[in-house]
């Protein structure tokens, strides 16, 4: 188990470094662009050079990179080129909306997906086919489009829910929930589909094991075999899918936070990309990467806890 975690961390560290290098290398390919962006195309070359010097953008890339890296260890992610705010403060403010969105969506996907999957595996026949159809549809619908349709229906036509915006849970919890409903729903579509499919396949696999028959013949009720032994057997692949879904959701926040005007990390990335605000993107992407690596690490740990064979060897 310790070995497994060590391996995972050994892979994670290069990944984080690759991400930092990648963002810097790419940025260096288009030098000086930031100043031109801020000052506009009409600025004089002198003024551009001056601003570049002010921002430290005229130094060698390696120097800038090492500086930035050193800053990160101090919790300093640099300054947003546009708003002039420290990136670390932006990250702090914008972390929670994204966290709530991705976490709620993962929870909803997991609960509904596993339920659907178990029902389809146990009922088989038409239930499984209907679920396969829905699942396929769930994966094929672009989440931002689903989001817009949901807004038209529930905020527009029916007027049940607010269309866009975000309220922090500590400010007004009811408002927070009602504003979360649509984004979480839109985000969960694909997750439900993927998790349901994986659950169905893994449950079918579990039910086809010989021990199901042995235990049934020796008096174990069907329901208990499905809900206890079947789910337990299916847990590992299903868990992997849930974790992959959470990672997908993090990517999905970029589009959905833009649709719903949620002030999170996703919309920060989207806006940063439009504005060429590299400091913002670097910070947000790095944070996202760290979260994803952490989720993978946690998944691995739960794996080993769930799998007696691995646990015994580790």
Partner 1 sequence: MSTAVISSTSAAAKAPGKLRRPSVPVILALTWLVIAVGGALLADVVAPFDPLKQEILQAMQTPTPEHLLGTDVLGRDVLSRLMHGAGPTLSSVAVAVVAYTGIGLVLGLIAGYSGGWTDRAVVALTSIVIALPVIMVLFVVLSVFRGNTWLAMLVFGVLSSPIMTLLVRSSAIAVRNELFVDAARVSGLSPLYIVFRHVLPRSRGLIIVQGAVFGATALIVESSLSYLGFGTVPPNPSWGNMISEASTVITSVPWLLVPPGAVIALTALSLGVIGDSLRDSVSAGWSTSKLTPSGRRTEAPRVAEAGTGPLLAVRDLSVGYHSAGGIVPIVKDVSFEIGRGETLGLVGESGSGKTTVAFGVLGVIGEGVAVTGGSVVFDGADLVGQSDAVLAQYRGKRIAYIAQEPMVALGPSHRVGDQLREAIELNDGLTGEAAQQRVIELLTLVELRDPAGSARKYLHELSGGMAQRVSIAFALAGRPELLVADEPTTALDVTVQAGILGLLMRLREQTGMSVLIITHDWGVIADVCDRVVVMYKGEIVEQATAERIFAEPQHPYTQALLTSNPHGAQPGQDLPVITGTFTTPSMERAALAGAGTGAAS
Among 3, 232, 294, 298, binds partner 1 (CB under 8 A): 232
Q: With respect to partner 1, which residue has the nearer C-beta, 11 or 53?
A: 11
The token pair that represents 215 in the structure block:
């235990």
Q: Cβ(254)–Cβ(299) under 8 Å?
A: no
Site for partner 1 in 151-180 (CB under 8 A): 151-152, 156
The token pair that represents 87 in the structure block:
């990136």
**Whole-angstrom distance, CA of residue 221 vs CA of residue 207:** 13
* Per-residue CA distances from 229 to 145, 199, 307 (Å): 39, 14, 13
Site for partner 1 in 202-221 (CB under 8 A): 204-205, 207-221
**Whole-angstrom distance, CA of residue 46 vs CA of residue 52:** 10
**Whole-angstrom distance, CA of residue 238 vs CA of residue 87:** 36
Sign of the Cα pseudo-torsion (173, 174, 178, 181, in order): positive
Site for partner 1 in 284-303 (CB under 8 A): 285, 288-289, 292-293, 296
Site string for partner 1, 127-146 (x = CB under 8 A): -----x---xx-xxxxxxx-
Q: With respect to partner 1, which residue has the nearer C-beta, 83 or 273?
A: 273
Kindly state whether residue 305 participates in binding partner 1, applying the rule CB under 8 A: no
Q: Shortest approach of partner 1 to residue 2 CB, angstroms? A: 19
Kindly state whether residue 251 participates in binding partner 1, applying the rule CB under 8 A: yes
Kindly state whether residue 124 participates in binding partner 1, applying the rule CB under 8 A: yes
Kindly state whether residue 310 participates in binding partner 1, applying the rule CB under 8 A: no
Q: With respect to partner 1, which residue has the nearer C-beta, 10 or 174?
A: 10
Q: What is the DSSP letter of 86?
A: B
């Amino acid at each position: 188990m310790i070995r497994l975690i060590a391996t995972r961390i050994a892979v994670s560290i290069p990944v984080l470094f690759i991400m930092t290098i990648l963002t810097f290398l790419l940025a260096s390919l288009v030098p000086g662009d930031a100043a031109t962006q801020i000052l506009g195309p009409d600025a004089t070359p002198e003024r551009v050079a001056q601003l570049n010097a002010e921002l430290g953008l005229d130094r060698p890339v390696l120097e800038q990179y090492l500086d930035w890296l050193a800053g990160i260890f101090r919790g300093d992610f640099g300054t947003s080129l546009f708003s002039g705010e420290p990136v670390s403060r932006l990250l702090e403010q914008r972390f929670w909306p994204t966290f709530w969105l991705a976490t709620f969506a993962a929870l909803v996907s997991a609960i509904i997906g596993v339920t659907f999957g178990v029902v389809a595996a146990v009922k088989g026949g038409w239930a499984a086919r209907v679920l396969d159809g829905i699942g396929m549809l769930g994966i094929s619908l672009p989440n931002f489009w689903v989001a817009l349709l949901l807004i038209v229906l529930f905020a527009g036509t029916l007027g049940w829910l607010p269309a866009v915006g975000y309220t922090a849970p500590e400010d007004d919890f009811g408002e927070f929930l009602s504003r979360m409903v649509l984004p979480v729903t839109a985000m969960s579509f694909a997750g439900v589909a993927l998790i349901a499919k994986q659950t169905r396949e893994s449950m079918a696999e579990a039910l086809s094991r010989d021990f199901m028959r042995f235990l049934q013949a020796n008096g174990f009720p069907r329901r208990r075999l499905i809900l206890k032994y079947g789910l337990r057997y299916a847990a590992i692949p299903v868990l992997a899918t849930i974790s992959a879904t959470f990672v997908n959701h993090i990517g999905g926040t970029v589009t959905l936070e833009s649709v719903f005007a949620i002030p999170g990390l996703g919309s920060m990335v989207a806006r940063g990309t439009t504005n060429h605000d590299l400091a913002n993107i670097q910070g947000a992407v790095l944070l996202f990467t760290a979260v994803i690596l952490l989720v993978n690490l946690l998944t691995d740990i739960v794996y080993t806890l769930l799998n007696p064979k691995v646990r015994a060897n580790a």
